[in-house]
Each structure stands twice: as structure tokens, then as C-alpha cells.
Amino acid sequence: MHLYGGIAKPASAGILVLFCLYLGLYHALFGTLVVAFRRSRLGKQGALLMSPFAWVAVELARARITSFPWDLLGITQVDNSLLTRIVPYTGAYGLSFIVAGVNALWLLRITLKERRYTRTLLTTAGVVMILLYVFYLRRVQTPVREGTAAVATLVQQNLEVGAAAIAAGPPLTMAQKLSAFSDLTLHPGMSYCLGVPELPSTQCIQLIPIGAAPTPSRTDMIVWPEAPNGFYESDPQFRMAMSSLARTADSSIIVGNFGLTADSQAMHGYQLFNSADFIQPDGQFAGRYDKMHLVPFGEYVPYKKLFFFAGDLLAEAGDLQFGSRRTIFQTGGHTYGAFICYESIFADEIRQFSDMGADVLVNISDDGWYGDTSAAWEHLNMVRMRAIENHRWVLRATNTGVTASIDPYGRVVVSAPRHRRTSLRVGFDFEKDITFYAKYGDLFAYLCALVTGAALGLSFLSGSELTIDPTVTRKA
């Protein structure tokens, strides 16, 4: 918030402490629920069995009440092709349930009458289960589809943000940006990776150009990212450049920019939005999606009245408006749903694009704010989970990376190395099916919350005799 957002150091530190305390409350809530179960008639074993339900219920609360479902426990299994088969039904919450459940099972105490072959049978059963799991994990792989029906061009603008932008020297003019990015669109970069970039197992390829620049190839969709490029939808120079690019490439374009809507009641006479504009191949601006889930203290200041004492300290924080409705874009007989940056962590919101008829998902993002921390990779994994939940291709264009095409099984097919100004030509397909999760959303998570609530009610209605140990009882 200080380095990139320009917020004063004392205010940034205070917000950080409050944020940590807020996140800690959810872990405290989980612990409180487990203790409540433990002290009820459920006892120790029952509390362990209830813990996966409680964990998912708390994750749901984090998503719904305070809107920060970053890195749910289930995201850790995005590369587990065996477990992710349940994701189109349960969302990432199903994986969270499995991870919490497996850990709880290790602590369960199960008493069996000792017989001659009891230990041998249990050991054999355990080994067989492990071997079967490893076998299916390695052998039951989703086949990679040969060939794709469409081609997209994803642009990675690589513009510095915050303090890094100041240190980078004089910025490019608007005309220079539009010219450079248009040229990059028509003549894609010469390097790409077959998988997640910067992993030792990923093969990255550097092509060597021979002769003159090749003639621009066909593309069905061009995507420019959310970035600190200063593009405004109302700027005639910007509109002219984008219309010209669409006609030259004979392709539709989705581009990140600032959208303006006149409002006489607003302070400046207009409302400002973080937007994705849609331009048809004939150069017409045909639609706009305004970001509905803004970044707190980055794009807006939550609870302004609560932070009245820090008005000057928070003066550099964004003051954008929330979008009011989801928008899908139609071209060439196909439908695209675009979501912007931070919105990708809200699974129940992204699935609504598929339910509205989008057969391709487009994610534009500016991950330059993450620097070289793990956040950029965490963000990528959450977008990959959205692809699995909806069984959709995701075309992801980011400012600094990770720019990639992601297939409906969450696999990164082609990506660009981070921190390079480049572009990618990627293949993708259109999917028409609607997954159970896309249709019904967080039904599994709400079921877990219902079970948790019922168990909590039982803990309050329990009698006064509470069993703490098979050999010890005490009065409540």
C-alpha cells in the first residue's frame, strides 16, 4: 500500500495490522467451533469428524461476509488431476473439505478388537489404498485435446507501477503506447513457455526471426490487460487507435481501460470505473464491463466514515465506482465473459458468466502490484481453478505476468515469461456445457455450513454431563 499505492507509511502499517487481525478472526472462529463440538455430546471423535464441515463453513464466511476468499485450502490441489474431478460439482470448497478431512482422519482413534490378522489386514489395506491412489494419479490423466478451433492474441504490456514506475524514467506518451502495443499485437513475441513459466519442468522456447517481419496472422480475439496505461474510453485518440487495430487485424478486442459515466450528482460530474471495453472487428465499440469487485485501499477506501481520521493519509488510494451488472460479449456466434484482476478469487461470481452463456472466459489483470512475491503465482492458481469449476478455456492477459491460456482442466497450455513486453498467439476452444457448480454455485459449501450450524446447535442443547475421556466425566 505504501510502495505501490502511495499511502503514508503509518497508515499502511495500521491497515496491515488490522487486516492481519481480521484474517486471524476466521482461524479463531474455526478453533471455537471445534472446541464447542468437543465439549458437546459429540466428544473428541465427533469434533474431529465435524472439523472439515466447520473449515468449509468458515471459508464460505470469509468469502461472503468480508469478501476475501484468497487462497482457499483447496487451491493447493489445483494440480491434482484426480481430486479436481469433483471441482465442477463442489467448487474449490470440495477440495478444502478433502484436505481438512484427510488431516482429521489421521487424528481419529478407532478401536478394533484385536484378532490374529487384524494388524496385517489393516497394513495391507493401507498400502493398497496408497498404491491405487498413486496409480490413478499417474494413469488417469485427462487427455490433451489435439488442435483448437480458435486463436487469440494476448498482450503483456509490462508497464511499471508505483515507485518502480517513477524509477523507470520518463513514461511513454499515449501515442507511443498505442503504437507499440498495436505493433506487438500484429507481430507477436518470439518467446513462449509450454506450461507455467519459471518452473524447472516447463519448456520455454525462443524463436529466432529470419528476414522481414511476417505478415499478421489470423486471430479471433485480441486481449489487452488491465494495466497502468492511462487509457480512457472517452479519449478520441484511444478510440481511434483501437478501432483501427480491430479493422487491421479483422478481430474483436477486449481491452482494459477507465470507463466514464456522466453523473451530475458526483463530485467531478462523472463516475470513474475500472473497465473492459469490447470492440467489434469493424471497429465499433460494442460493449463495456465495469469491475464489480474492487480492491480495498487500492481502488476504493472501505468504511470511509470509520477512517475519517486518516483522510489525508489515504488521499492517494483509488476512488473508483463499483460496476452494477455483469456483461457478456458476443461475436462470431460465440460469447465471451470478461472479469478483471481481483474478481478472479470470487468463484461464485465468475461462474455466473458461464451460466449467462459465456463459452470462453477472459481475465485481464495487472499483477505488477505483487512484485516478485508468491502472490502472482497464487493468483494464477485461483484463475486455473475457475477454469476447472466452469469447464471453460480462460484467456489471461496481464500487465507483467502470468499471461497464459488455460484449458478447461486448469492446465496452463501456453504462457509468457514474466516481466517482458511481449504477446502470445494461443489456441483455444468454445465450451457449451454448464457444470453443476456453474449452475448452482456454492451449494456444497452451504451444505457444510448447515451441518456445522446443526452440530453447533447440538452443542448448546447437550445435557450437563459431558464426556471428556472414556474414563473421566465431569459436570459442565
Cell of 93: 470448497
Mind giving me the DSSP string for 290-305? E-SSPPBTTTB-SSTT
d(CA 450, CA 53): 9
Report the share of the chain in percent with pLDDT over 70.
Answer: 85
pLDDT of amino acid 120: 77
Contact 257, 275 (CB under 8 A): yes
More reliable by pLDDT, 163 or 398: 398
Spatial neighbors of 165 by CB under 8 A, at least 6 apart, are 159, 171, 228
pLDDT of amino acid 139: 62
Query: Tens digit of pLDDT for each residue in 444-464?
Result: 999 999 999 999 988 887 644
Integer-rounded Cα Rg, in Å, for the chain is 25
Query: Tens digit of pLDDT for each residue in 240-260?
Result: 999 999 999 999 999 999 999
- Overall pTM surpassing 0.75 (yes/no): yes
pLDDT over 90 (residue 12)? no
Query: Tens digit of pLDDT for each residue in 276-304?
Result: 999 999 999 999 999 999 888 778 877 77
Sign of CA dihedral 445, 451, 455, 458: positive
Average pLDDT over residues 307-331: 75
Query: Tens digit of pLDDT for each residue in 188-224?
Result: 887 889 898 888 888 888 776 665 555 567 899 999 9
Q: Which CATH number does 150-437 carry?
A: 3.60.110.10
pLDDT of amino acid 320: 87
Please state, rounded to an integer, the average pLDDT across all residues of the chain. 86
Q: 3-state DSSP call for residue 365?
A: strand
Given pLDDT bands bounded at 50, 70 and 90, which one contains residue 476? very low
d(CA 211, CA 87): 48
131 DSSP β-pair partners: none
Contact 263, 403 (CB under 8 A): no
d(CA 332, CA 45): 58
DSSP-derived pairing of the beta strands 328-331 and 394-398:
unpaired
Query: Tens digit of pLDDT for each residue in 50-64?
Result: 999 999 999 999 999
Cell of 340: 478483471
Given pLDDT bands bounded at 50, 70 and 90, which one contains residue 472? very low
Average pLDDT over residues 357-370: 93
Q: How many other β-carbons are positioned within 10 Å of the β-carbon of residue 339? A: 27
Domain boundaries, the chain: 9-110+442-475, 150-437
d(CA 273, CA 288): 10
Contact 431, 407 (CB under 8 A): no
Average pLDDT over residues 390-405: 95
Average pLDDT over residues 364-381: 91
pLDDT of amino acid 464: 41
pLDDT over 80 (residue 48)? yes
pLDDT over 60 (residue 314)? no
Angle between helices 43-64 and 92-107 (to 10 degrees): 160
Given pLDDT bands bounded at 50, 70 and 90, which one contains residue 468? very low
* Amino acid, single-letter form, for residue 4: Y
Spatial neighbors of 95 by CB under 8 A, at least 6 apart, are 73, 74, 75, 76, 77, 80, 83, 84, 86, 87
